[in-house]
Structure 1
Amino acid sequence: MTTSQQLAGAEAESSLTEDFVPTFYVGHHDSKRPLPVTESALRQAQDLGYDMLTSPITTPNFHSRVLTLLSSHLAIVEATEDPSNKFTPPAPIIPPLSPVDTPLTPGDTVPQLIAYSSPWIDLCSSDPLISNISRQVLNIEIAYASFCGIGNIIIPGPRTYGSESIDSDGLTQYARAIQEALTIGSYIQMAIHLPMYGQDEPREIMGDLSPFAKDYNSTGKTKVSKNTDIYETWDAWNLVRSVCKYNSRLSVALALPRQLPAESLQSRWFAEPLRLISFTPNTFLKNKGGHPVLSKSHQALITRYMRLKQPPWLLLSDVSPIPGVNDLNQQTADGFPPASDVADASTSGSVSPTPAEAAERLSKESQRTQPRPKDPAAHLVYIRYLQRNQPIRTAIEKFGSGYQDYLQAPLQPLTDNLESVTYEVFEKDPVKYDWYQAAISQALSDWSKQRKPTSSPAGAVVIAVAGSGRGPLVTRSLRASYLTGVPVEVWAVEKNPNAYVLLQRHNEEEWGGVVNVVKSDMRAWKGPLRNLTGPIGQAITTSLAAPASPYGKVDILVSELLGSFADNELSPECLDGVQHVLAPDFGISIPSSYTAHLTPISAPRLHADISHRAITDDTATETPYVVMLHAIDYLATSVPDFPQIQQAWEFAHPLPATTLAIAEARRGGGVSGGGGGSMAGGDGANEHNTRFARLKFICRDRGVVNGIAGYFEAVLYDGGEAGKVELSTRPDTIDAKSKDMISWFPIYFPLKNPLYFPDDSELEVSIWRQTDDRKVWYEWLVEVFAMVGPNKRMRLGMSEAGTSRKIGCLM
């Protein structure tokens, strides 16, 4: 089975298996592996427990040939150099590969190999000759690897990054070379090998091209900075992928350091397209038994990163060579090591040892009279141990498997009749319905305690479930009545003719015929019909005289019309339309209010997905998507008065009667509307449901805004001193208000183009809820500001205004 087939199988399994254990695909990289990787060598590695091996694309013979060609060219240039002649000879052309120049051959072993391009080239060189030769080498390697059928290539990252690098201009040279390589290898996945922060571990590269650069001594090296800029490496990656236009075949091979950076940088890399995570011996600690282990923080990072929808592969670099075939005493990574082999390191309370502690430990180890035999598989054994001991998934992770970062267009519940399977997904959430039942129970108890008059002639509290779907809230209403002992009269109102059939069946088989099922758009429903026949109607009409009007009122109006942003599925408009049936003095709406919340995020994977869709769909970049946000980074820093997630607006029900009266007067262009209608068109009847918010977010660390994440909170019922029954989808309040609720994924408002901002910036998000009385849509805008003096700000950038008017939610 090939590596790609294994990964495809793992993804399919992850979406089907409840008792999910993430599969670690572990590769072995030897920077000095020049020989061909044979089928026998692959079997050796697989027997030891590895899934894949890396292979260089070219051999030392090719390297020597390039150096000879370069030296000859430089000798000719030096011999013919004339200060009065400004003509520069063109760079030499590298001849095609020969059999001795490459270890690769098309065959059965190729799909299980990861190719590694030559580390001795310098794509960032400021010397045009060196950068040209380097680019030729890379292109030759990419083209031949593609010919052989290689699916994945690791390319060493740029040697210079940002402001601390003397030759920072070389980064654009590097990005341009990668863009060209993506064109040459049109089907190859390319991973740029980068350290998590700082520079790569220092290592001497034999035959490096950098010293051949003319200005090597003066500008070919990097300044040493006293203060490490931990975002410098991410900045370099961001420039490369931006030049490559977020190409879906370009990803990151992230090298983990011994000392992990701040959580904010770990989250930033989590949001990026990770293809590999690499470990060197220096990444590991040693426990008391001398075995390699990872710190607690490294273990937590791996657990988090392996929860990605497409988990990265793990690459052990230069840990130990693959042992010989005849070595029969080797422990394989599939075995279960003793507890002492994998016990966590004791580091005197620190995550990683200080240099002094490391030196002391090394000294003690060197003084042992009987050193432990070196186990070439020790690092792999430990990684497999971590795999077997991954924590089980949470309820939300189990439900969301397969939905992570999957873009879905929002529902059109008023114009479309939902399928049964859609209702079924909603109904898998017990938390939401438990909370609804608690709200209804509390409302019934308070109604009874306060001895409020009811709208039923028989004295029962009248409950109407507006938009009943398949009836879960009807069931919960009846259960709340049973638990509180308060009699109820239940009406189920549903416009979907297919769901109406199922509701009638439920009434016959589950509800005992006590529910009044009505097929109607809730906004057109006139209220409980008092002269209908049936058990409830008979009880009413035989106990009291028929009311003057054939339609009665509702005491408690229950609905679950909330969307991911609370109001994006037209809950305000629907509840406005049905409010006329609510008892004017004591009527209760469940929910009673809801608020929309938002925050700017970095979501490069979603941006790449939407950009791809935009090729065939001109509304792709202006669609507010419902998506289970996962591989994202929250950009704002919570500070006093400016939290990371902020409230945009609120809706409350029932509305004051005067507000509804004004809306009704405006309908049809009445005098109250002024004759001109609303700013967005129409007659302004729904103008009271427009909203606007402008929110400021403080961003300590630089980054890129790809869009806005939206959440909501709702008060189902406010019991005063008894407390509120609330729902929340905000990641920072969901556990306190409705833990493990899975009914709603967040909403995502995308930006057409990524918006970069520097350190210590202010992001201001403007968002509008607009209506023209026929549909509702959103408009959004993000601006970047920086402080340039006392009480003075400068606008550094602004996104293109987004609008979902073309695909607005129809009323």
Structure 2
Amino acid sequence: MQLWLRIPLGKPDDDSKTLQTQDDYWKIWNSFRLLSDHNSKLLVTLDNLNTMPSDNSLNHWYGEPVAAFIIHTDSFLTRDGDNPKHLSEGIQKLITYFLNHYTQIIISENQLNCSKDEESHLETNSAEDSRIHRLLPYIDQVRSIYQQMDPLSEQERSQVAFRDVLHPILQPFKEISQSMVYSEQEKDEKKYMEYKRAICQALLDRVPDEEASVITTVLVVVGAGRGALVRTSLQAANETGRKLKVYAMDRNLNALASLYKQRESMGWNDIVTVIQTDAGHWNAPEKADILVGELLGCFGDNELASEILDGTQRILKKDGISIPSSYTSFLQPVKSSKLYSAVKAKEQILTFETAFVTKMHNVARLAPCQPLFTFTHPKRSIKESNRRYRKLQFVMPDVPESTMVHGFAGYFDATLYKDVHLGTEPSKATPDVFSCKRVPHSSQHDISFYRPYDIIVELSTLLYWPAS
């Protein structure tokens, strides 16, 4: 059984002293939520109160488990001779937001305001009344708002099932990626398009036009998998007219089996050499001009990109090029009751110290992102450590007087080469990129935990800590 707590959405724009402030209404809900220890069966129903609340009062409810939104029939406006009725633009936007977040819309009529004719009409219960319900014009208005909503793109439709669902982050040194992970990553055409742009620029900078037919560029793919980056590199070489020699390195023999078959069928035997080994253990027969890897996780460095690329730097020429050349992680405080409850439901304390990947949807972003850690490749000084520590202070100018911080969302922005970027940080996210993050996986991993902090990672990254 679920319990829906009915809360007024905001304070009317008058001097009525019978209502509390907008902030107090949210505090009432929050006190119930905390007393129930964020129980996932406690939800909120917002009552519109025939008013259009301010933006600040609406901000309170973003990221909350709103089960239903109540609209009173008095909120519907009537033009002269207009039937059915219509809603103000502000309330229409509000309904659109709630429909996008699977919130039920309830149309409420105060029978005390009905005219005598309407009351007698209710009492007749005629066949016509049962066929044409009195609230049908109001329902049609809400239906028309739904029909006017922008349709989801094909990519967005494919991600609906993953909205606000937690998935473990890929741990490359702990687990061997399954074929499904590679299959999903290879569908990310936009990501490989950006990699191809970066490799094209690197090849053009590395080899001048007059020597294109003479010089062969040595390119090493770290974490080649089933060969997506190998194909991308060869396409870049073909477009730029440069000669290329590729070493494809990966420790996952199951993935490389597919690459071996491609090499045979595509006639790459003289161009591509496949090596099954850990990146740090390979003794390269020659130094690389370009080092390429798609090791970036949803938080930038959370899949050991910095450690792996540093470990392979010894096979890169002193003037060699690393793709990616740098990347920065970002943090943002967020409120998401659904995700916090999902972490809590795992009933292991250390879940709150674990990073997860999710497609964040019902979430309130409380302050702008701030940069956290930056890594640059190749690392010119071997004395430079990858240890990082930073203290951030967030200012939340647009949030109401009181709010709940459930945790942090994590993002990244990477420079592949020169002006070619790839990332998920909201202000400059690469459009249509989705596989820079953990692909949902059929198996779940149990992890031991100790303290109540948690970290989440949106197709980006979500980093949670105790709600406060």
| TM-score for both structures, normalised by structure 2 | 0.86
Distance 1:327 1:582, change over 3 A: same
2:182 pairs with 1:490: no
Secondary structure of the corresponding residue to residue 385 of structure 2: helix
For residue 357 of structure 2, what is the amino acid of its counterpart? V
TM superposition shift of 1:589? 0.4
| Aligned twin of 1:605 | 338
1:143-542 map, 5 Å:
188-198=1-11, 223=17, 229-288=21-80, 289-308=82-101, 311-318=102-109, 326-328=126-128, 332=132, 376-449=135-208, 459-510=215-266, 512-513=268-269, 514-527=271-284
After superposition, give the CA deviation of every residue in 1:602-625 in whole Å (9 maximum; x if it has no partner): 1211111111212xx232111121
Secondary structure of the corresponding residue to residue 407 of structure 2: strand
After superposition, give the CA deviation of every residue in 1:614-649 in whole Å (9 maximum; x if it has no partner): 2xx23211112122211111222xxxxxxx111012
Secondary structure of the corresponding residue to residue 400 of structure 1: helix
After superposition, give the CA deviation of every residue in 1:57-82 in whole Å (9 maximum; x if it has no partner): xxxxxxxxxxxxxxxxxxxxxxxxxx
After superposition, give the CA deviation of every residue in 1:442-480 in whole Å (9 maximum; x if it has no partner): 11122223889x9x9x62111111101111111111111
> Partners in 1 of 2:95 and 2:25 — Cα distance?
20
After superposition, give the CA deviation of every residue in 1:134-165 in whole Å (9 maximum; x if it has no partner): xxxxxxxxxxxxxxxxxxxxxxxxxxxxxxxx
Distance 1:493 1:395, change over 3 A: same
Secondary structure of the corresponding residue to residue 596 of structure 1: strand
Coordinate RMSD, CA, aligned: 2.6
Aligned partner (choices 279, 282, 300) of residue 566 of structure 1: 300
Identity of aligned residues (%): 31
2:383 pairs with 1:699: no
Aligned partner (choices 629, 633, 653) of residue 377 of structure 2: 653
Distance 1:381 1:507, change over 3 A: same
Long gaps (5+) in structure 1: 1-187, 202-221, 334-374, 528-550, 637-643, 663-686, 719-723, 756-811
> Partners in 2 of 1:376 and 1:649 — Cα distance?
56
Long gaps (5+) in structure 2: 112-118, 438-458
For residue 73 of structure 2, what is the amino acid of its counterpart? P
TM superposition shift of 1:269? 1.3
Distance 1:296 1:555, change over 3 A: same
> Partners in 2 of 1:625 and 1:470 — Cα distance?
25
TM superposition shift of 1:247? 1.1
2:375 pairs with 1:575: no
> Partners in 1 of 2:260 and 2:79 — Cα distance?
67
| Aligned twin of 2:441 | none
| Aligned twin of 1:731 | 426
2:408 pairs with 1:708: yes
TM superposition shift of 1:746? 1.8
2:463 pairs with 1:749: yes
> Partners in 2 of 1:482 and 1:231 — Cα distance?
62
2:336 pairs with 1:592: no
TM superposition shift of 1:223? 4.1
For residue 490 of structure 1, what is the amino acid of its counterpart? V
TM superposition shift of 1:385? 2.3
2:353 pairs with 1:622: yes
TM superposition shift of 1:291? 2.7
TM superposition shift of 1:518? 1.2
Contact 1:601 1:709 in 2 (8 A): yes
| Aligned twin of 2:450 | none
Contact 1:319 1:376 in 2 (8 A): no
Distance 1:299 1:508, change over 3 A: farther
Contact 1:191 1:275 in 2 (8 A): yes
Contact 1:395 1:740 in 2 (8 A): no
Distance 1:754 1:329, change over 3 A: closer
TM superposition shift of 1:263? 3.6
Distance 1:397 1:200, change over 3 A: farther
TM superposition shift of 1:268? 3.2
Contact 1:556 1:590 in 2 (8 A): yes
For residue 387 of structure 2, what is the amino acid of its counterpart? T
User: How many pairs align?
Assistant: 431
TM superposition shift of 1:326? 3.1
> Partners in 1 of 2:85 and 2:426 — Cα distance?
36
1:684-695 map, 5 Å:
688-695=385-392
For residue 76 of structure 2, what is the amino acid of its counterpart? F
> Partners in 1 of 2:64 and 2:329 — Cα distance?
27
After superposition, give the CA deviation of every residue in 1:206-252 in whole Å (9 maximum; x if it has no partner): xxxxxxxxxxxxxxxx9458xx7332211111111111111111101
Secondary structure of the corresponding residue to residue 695 of structure 1: coil
Q: Report the structure number with the largest CA radius of gyration.
A: 1
Distance 1:491 1:391, change over 3 A: same
TM superposition shift of 1:199? 7.2
> Partners in 2 of 1:645 and 1:481 — Cα distance?
37
| TM-score for both structures, normalised by structure 1 | 0.50
For residue 253 of structure 1, what is the amino acid of its counterpart? T
> Partners in 1 of 2:242 and 2:41 — Cα distance?
62
> Partners in 1 of 2:25 and 2:267 — Cα distance?
63
